[in-house]
Amino acid sequence: MDIINVYNKLIEKIKAKNILKDEPMYKHTSFKIGGPTDLMVLPYSIEEVKHAIKVCKEYDVDYYIMGNGSNLLVRDKGIRGVVIKIAENFNKVEINGNEVTAQAGVLLSVLSNIVANKSLKGFEFASGIPGTLGGAVAMNAGAYGGEIKDVLVGATVIDDKGNIIYLNNESLELGYRESIIQRKGFVVLEVKMQFEKGDYSEIKEKIKDFTQRRTTKQPLSLPSAGSTFKRPPGYYAGKLIEDAGLKGVRVGGAQVSTLHSGFIVNVDKATAEDVILLMELVQKTVRDKFGVLLNPEVKIIGQV
């Protein structure tokens, strides 16, 4: 792979300061774990995203598109190829009456407050979800009885050939932590949502309540990727893990949280290998004790 040629082609349409070489991925994940990627691109427009994908295709270079890294575990050897990061560099928001159009990189916590400040209700549930809007749409993120699909009108996505496609709510096929975006490998660029007018003080009170519940019940002071496993039908992952006697169990610097067993946290310079081994231990123990298979919610990427 001729990464120099890829870099030179990228800077034809993307500023050099927005292309990082040998960038450590631990700086870009909430786990604070991960080796370097050959190149990281920080696009500021749809055209720059298209250009980055086109260049990677032209040079047959692997690429991965990420948000703010809140649901990501990058392996210790890092990522060969190009990482395209759609996060704080891609976060414009427009509000027209009850309709909100936002770029995929805006943080849910930020967008929730913007929406609340316009006295629009229905997005309070998203106030404490630690991710970007694009990632939230891709996995139909939800909390406290609300889901993205409840407020979504549609999303503009890009496919692996660089085609821009608009999909309405129904076409996105949003289910429990899944969508057509994941199945087809689409990347969300822009999202359109609709809300109802509400009472400002009631909206703010709801956000305050949800925030308090999260801060008292989740280990937010330690690096993690949020809930490590998806909720299995009929069960709660955290309760299964706790009932299996795994609360507080460690592998290297990774630990099953002592506050909430559904989280694996980085307590002491954990490596990706530490986390993966602990995840496997949790899966095996829960399967052996209860016959339930826990599927990871955290995405694991990078060179093995």
Lookup result for tokens 């609340």: 116
What tokens appear for 69 in the block?
């890294």
Q: Computed over its alpha carbons, how large is the radius of gyration of the chain?
A: 20
Q: Catalytic site residues?
A: 177, 227, 297
Could you count the other beta carbons within 10 Å of the beta carbon of residue 170?
9
Distance, in Å, from the CA atom of 188 to the CA atom of 86, rounded to the nearest integer, reads: 9
From the list 44, 59, 84, the residue with the least C-alpha distance to 9 is: 59
> Strands across the sheet with 254-256, in order?
224-227, 263-266, 254-256, 250-251
CB count in 10 Å sphere of residue 259:
16
Cα gap 49→58, rounded to integer Å: 14
**CA 37 to each of CA 20, 22, 51, 261, 279: distance values in angstroms, whole numbers, following the listed order:** 9, 5, 19, 31, 24
Q: Which two tokens stand for residue 37?
A: 């990627």
Residue entry with tokens 């899944």: 178
